Amino acid sequence: MWAVGTSASLTREVCLKEIRKLAPQGDHMAELKEVSSFDQDELIKVPTGIPGFDDVAGGGLPEGRPTLVCGGPGCGKTLFGMEFLVRGAAEFDEPGVFVSFEESEEDLIKNVKSLGFDLRGLIDRKQVFVEYIYVERSEIEETGDFTLDGLFVRLADSTQRVGAKRIVLDTVETIFTSGADELILRAELRRLFRWLKDQGLTAVVTGEKGRESLTRHGLEEYLSDCVIFLDHRVTEQLSTRRLRIVKYRGSSHETDEYPFIIDESGFSVLPITSVGLAYHAPSERISSGIPRLDTMLDGEGFYQGSSVLISGSSGTGKTSLAACFAEQVCRRGNRCLYLAYEESPGQILRNTGSIGLNLKQWVNKGLLELTAYRPTAYGLEGHLVNFHKMAAHLKPSAVVLDPVSNLVSMGTRNDVKILLMRIVDFLKLKGITSVFTDLISGGEGSVPKTIVEISSLIDTWIVLRDVERSGEFKHELRIIKSRGMSHSNQIREYRLTDNGVDILDVSAGV
């Protein structure tokens, strides 16, 4: 007889497969019972439907258990709970109850409508029930010991109305304004969390941040099986939001802070990066759009899904090389997302026309999405979420970011580097070829120094520079590195002509 390992990472199907393979014929009934028992005890997670959060939480919130969402005013606690409820009803056929101690049903309907949630429709279809419990200390008269028995009656009635599987209590400390003894309040809070568990409800309980603890009473975080902390901070006049999973009983979880934003689509959470680096490395090649540059890159151009950095001082033609690549992608019938942080779309179309590129035709055909905005339009998290949304909408095969050095105005160089690391990992996971342009800040020796310093993240690094000769400036190009392929080590002179970028044989005098 042999024992089945009960690792939480094993699914029932994997266990059964191993049993049938290793156990003698007809001698595995006990093991089957053990697997069945283990499968029932394994923690089940309920997807929230909140973009990005389920990835961070490893699948969602614990089924049939309470989750505490805490933080200061305006951090998004109520919205998190509402989105968990609305998406549960609309996407996963799990009706829910929203218990509000602060906002009426009409106020909630109006507040979330701007985020695209049809709360009124869900209520009318009996998929969601809103229970507004008005609590005013001046109107409360105490008779006997403080209990939550009345609340339990109302909660039971509300959940039965829609057959609720999910419930949100927003915000829980409001019910403890009667001035009752602290020990009684703690005991009743325990009863409330136990009642939620006994009913098998997947619950989200929101709570205000305390001075020396995550919540005002300091008990909710100990009673909850999952604790999520939301933070809204302002640094150097820039507003940022962060989410952190403080604890998650029965499940491994990351304790890092994750950026999130609240926009017209609701809550969006961004994982930090792909720490496993488990992306595919395609062998297919894609042209740079400049034939003689392809020749320098082992004759075929970039690898599909690779990252490319074009760096140089101002006026060396970084945007022109990036535009040649974008034009080549569209010419092949593929979609390209071009994000500009310095010039308007009209200016890019006009300027690239001077070197013989007609990008407007690809814009009109829907193959080129040319978007421009100042870096100050969003915080770094906003840029990240906005980028993910545009990529999800367009589903491009290639992306151009021009120039990434302008993002430094929104944070430190290290902050921007982390942002670009997340973008590079995301694009590699999707197999999307990326081109970044960046300014050179100095180091005109063997290895120039860029503003953002992301060269270590990049597969192919092309450096442009101006050199003075015979009383005039000439453009020179060289390839610092190109991973996975042989490439030219020559320095080539190039010219921006009416017919595109023309790379000459070998730079004169070199």
The answer to whether 435 and 286 are in contact (CB under 8 A) is no
Residue 4 clears pLDDT 90, i.e. is over it: no
Q: Which pLDDT band, with edges at 50, 70 and 90, does 158 fall under? A: very high
The DSSP string of 31-50 is HHHHHHHHHHHSPPEE----
Residues 6+ apart with CB under 8 A from 14: none
pLDDT band at 418 (very low <50, low <70, confident <90, very high): confident
In the predicted structure, residue 14 carries a pLDDT above the cut 60 = no
CB atoms within 10 A of CB 463: 22
How confident is the model at residue 20, as a pLDDT? Answer: 44
Return the domain boundaries, the chain: 45-269, 285-503
Q: Does pLDDT of 25 surpass 50?
A: no
pLDDT for res 21: 47
Residue 291 pLDDT exceeds 90: yes
Read off the pLDDT of each residue in 272-281 and give the average, rounded to a whole number. 61
pLDDT at 89 over 70: yes
Tell me which residue of 431, 361, 347, 363 sits closest to 391, measured CA to CA: 431
Q: How far is the C-alpha of 154 from the C-alpha of 133, rounded, in Å?
A: 9
Q: Which of 25-29, 280-284, 405-409 is predicted with the least confidence, judged by mean pLDDT?
A: 25-29
The reported pLDDT for the residue numbered 150 is 83
| Cβ neighbour number for residue 163 with a 10 Å cutoff | 12
Higher pLDDT, 172 or 64: 64
- pLDDT grade, residue 24 (50/70/90)? very low
| Model pLDDT, residue 326 | 96
C-alpha 302: how far from its chain's center? Answer: 27
How high is the mean pLDDT of the chain? 82
Site of tokens 């760096």: 311
* CA–CA distance, 456 with 67 (Å, rounded to integer): 40
- Of the given ranges (206-210, 334-338, 354-358, 506-510), which has the lowest mean pLDDT? 506-510
- CATH fit for domain 285-503, picks 1.50.10.10, 3.30.9.10, 3.30.420.10, 3.40.50.300: 3.40.50.300
| pLDDT higher at 244 or 409 | 244
Q: What percent of the chain has pLDDT over 90?
A: 45
Segment 234-262, tens digit of pLDDT: 766 667 788 999 999 888 777 788 888 88
- Per-residue pLDDT averaged across 216-236, rounded? 77
Name the band, by pLDDT with cuts 50, 70 and 90, for residue 189.
confident
Provide the pLDDT confidence category of residue 502 given band limits of 50, 70 and 90.
Answer: very high
Q: Report pLDDT for 435.
A: 96
Q: What SS3 string covers 110-141?
A: HHHHCCCCCHHHHHHCCCEEEEECCCCHHHCC
Mean pLDDT of 40-65: 87
Structure confidence by residue, pLDDT tens digits, 305-355: 999 999 998 889 999 999 999 999 999 999 999 999 989 999 999 999 999
**Amino acid present at 111:** N
* Predicted confidence (pLDDT) at residue 180 exceeds the cutoff of 90: no
Give pLDDT, residue 409. Answer: 75
Q: What is the mean pLDDT of residues 382-396?
A: 84
| Residue 470 pLDDT > 70 | yes
The yes or no reply on domain 45-269 and CATH 3.40.50.300 is yes
Average pLDDT on 195-220 reads 80
